[in-house]
Amino acid sequence: MDYREELYAVTDQFFNQVVMEFGRTNAMGTERVKKFQPFQKKNYDDIIRRFEIHMKQTALMSMSNIEIPEEDEAAKKLAADFAQCKKTFLRLCEVNMQFYDLQNRKVRRQGATVKEFKEISLAVSLALNSARRDMNELENQYKDMKGVIKEE
C-alpha cells in the first residue's frame, strides 16, 4: 500500500470509527444528564467506559510507522496534524470522563461542589474548542491531499 493510502486509511479510521462513536457517546451522556427522572438513580459508568474505549482506540492509532518521503510536505503536515489532533482528542475524552465522574458523585451524594462543576465545565469547553480546531485542520489537510474540492 502506498504511504499516502496508509495515511488516508488512518485518518478515515479515526474519523469514522472513533470520532463518530464519540459523538454518539457524547449525545447519550448529554441526554441522560438533561433527562428529568425524579425517582430513578442515574448512573454514568457506562458513559465513562465508552470514553475509555475511545481513548484506547485512539491511542492505538499512529502514523509514526509510515515512511513519508522528505520531499512530501503535505503528507508530513497530515501526519503532524493527526498527532496534534490525537493529543487534543485524548484530552477531550479525559475531561469528559471527569465530567461524568462528577455527575456520578452528584447522584450518589458524594460531595460534588458548584466550584467543581464550573471548573470541569470550563475544561470541557476548552478541550472541545481545541479538539474541534485540530480536527478541522486535519480534515482540511486530508481534503487538500486527496484533491477534494472544498464546499463552503
Query: What is the CB-side half-sphere exposure of residue 81 using CA atoms within 13 A?
Result: 25
Q: Give 84: exposed, middle or buried? Use CB within 10 Å, 0-12, 13-18, 19+.
A: middle
CB 3 within 8 A of CB 75: yes
What does the pLDDT read at residue 50? Answer: 96
Q: In this predicted model, what pLDDT tens digit does every residue of 7-42 receive, in sequence order? A: 999 999 999 999 999 999 999 998 888 877 666 678
- In angstroms, rounded to a whole number, what is the distance separating the alpha carbons of residues 52 and 73? 34
CB 61 within 8 A of CB 107: no
Grid coordinates representing 114 are: 458548584
CB 138 within 8 A of CB 85: yes
What's the chain's length in residues? 152
pLDDT band at 148 (very low <50, low <70, confident <90, very high): low
Does residue 113 have a pLDDT over 80? yes
- In angstroms, rounded to a whole number, what is the distance separating the alpha carbons of residues 74 and 72? 6
In the chain, domain spans? 3-146
What does the pLDDT read at residue 152? Answer: 45
- The conformation of residue 110, written as its DSSP 8-state character, comes to S
Does residue 121 have a pLDDT over 80? yes
Does residue 144 have a pLDDT over 50? yes
Q: In this predicted model, what pLDDT tens digit does every residue of 39-86 receive, in sequence order? A: 667 888 999 999 999 999 999 999 999 999 999 999 999 999 999 999
pLDDT band at 110 (very low <50, low <70, confident <90, very high): confident
Please state the rounded mean pLDDT for residues 120-138. Answer: 95
Task: From 78, 77, 63, 82, select the one nearest 6 (Cα to Cα).
Answer: 63
Q: Please give the backbone phi and psi of residue 42, each rounded to the nearest 5 degrees, phi first.
A: -90, 150
